[in-house]
Copies of this chain bind each other. A is one copy, B any other.
Amino acid sequence: MGEKLKTKELILTVATEVFHNKGYTGARMQEIADLAQVNKAALHYYFNSKQQLFEVILLNSFKNLFISFENLAVKKLPILDKIDFLIDEYSAFVRKKIQIIKFILSEVDKNLPLIQTNIKMISLENSFIDRMYNEFDREMKLGNIKMINPRHLLTNIISMCIFPFIAKPVIMEINKFSTDEINAFLDEREKYIKQFVHNALKI
């Protein structure tokens, strides 16, 4: 039984890799079987169909992304320092999980009902997001930062942290960057995002 669980998890691991890299329509059951060093029949034995295997992986990926997000350490810091900390955490997160983020963004549209019916399993009571909104609200009312809709503030920060990594090759072409230059540009972004957000929020 130990061995059996191992096989199923091995398939899931390599299938995750393949789906993340190729997307649903680009993924091939044969490639997954080869990488897992099992036969195609084993894939169907454990997961019934490509669609069902994919759904397991999409939901896992979505949950992982959510949980990573939720588990961002929330140190007790002055609000602007905390925002700096968040920008560092988001940026590190994006660098590490860029492939999953791209996968989710490209597949989520066609599978929204699936995600919506399964999302409730993820506890979202008093979530990290809600706590951030509350904290933004409190600090604004205390007069520590400028007034701004907290949801748009967080959306702005996340957009600035994630989008350039998704659009890396396009930004590269627009700016006529070499490979070294685009990488240096992405590396220095945290500094400029922090500066930008500070300027936007400081009273």
Residues of A within 8 A of B (CB): 22-26, 102, 104-106, 108-109, 112, 115-116, 119, 124, 129, 146, 148-149, 151-153, 155-156, 158-160, 162-164, 166-167, 169-171, 173-176, 185, 188-189, 192-193, 195-197, 199-201
| A189 CB contacts on chain B under 8 angstroms | 152, 155
| A199 CB contacts on chain B under 8 angstroms | 146, 148, 199-201
Who on chain B is nearest to A108 by CB? B169
- The copy count of this chain in the complex is 2
Do A170 and B22 have beta carbons less than 8 Å apart? no
| A176 CB contacts on chain B under 8 angstroms | 124
Who on chain B is nearest to A196 by CB? B200
Do A195 and B164 have beta carbons less than 8 Å apart? no
Say which residue of B22, B23, B26, B155 sits within 8 Å of A164 (CB atoms). B155
